[in-house]
Amino acid sequence: MADCIFCGIASGEIETRIIFENDDIVAFKDLNPQAPTHILIIPKKHLTSLSDAKAQDLELLGKLQLAAVEIANKFGLKDFRLVTNNGKGAGQSVGHLHFHLLAGRRMLWPPG
């Protein structure tokens, strides 16, 4: 999508420091970190939110989860939180499915 900042990052049109990338996924540090480690993990395919995922996205959703584990291992993170916000009411601020990998501090429950 032309007006999606995360699509611009995924396509390379918008520069950022990529910390993980494969054919389907890109990950980079959040510009407004909420923990010492705060990484955004996005699919290159545009999905506005998790609610937009269909049966044909099942493999991609699994790849996102496995990418989170690979990134956590790369950074030596034993404990981490993986979060996705679905819709503005849940705190989603960018209309492109993304996961927040948070680590480096004690996480509280409930989160928000």
Question: Which of the residues are catalytic?
Answer: 98
Inter-CA distances, 19 with 41, 86, 106, 107, Å: 10, 24, 23, 23
Please count the CA atoms within 13 angstroms of the CA of 44 that sit on its side-chain side.
Answer: 14
Q: Please give the torsion angle defined by the CA atoms of residues 11, 14, 16 and 18, in that order, rounded to the nearest 10 degrees.
A: 0
Lookup result for tokens 């996961």:
99
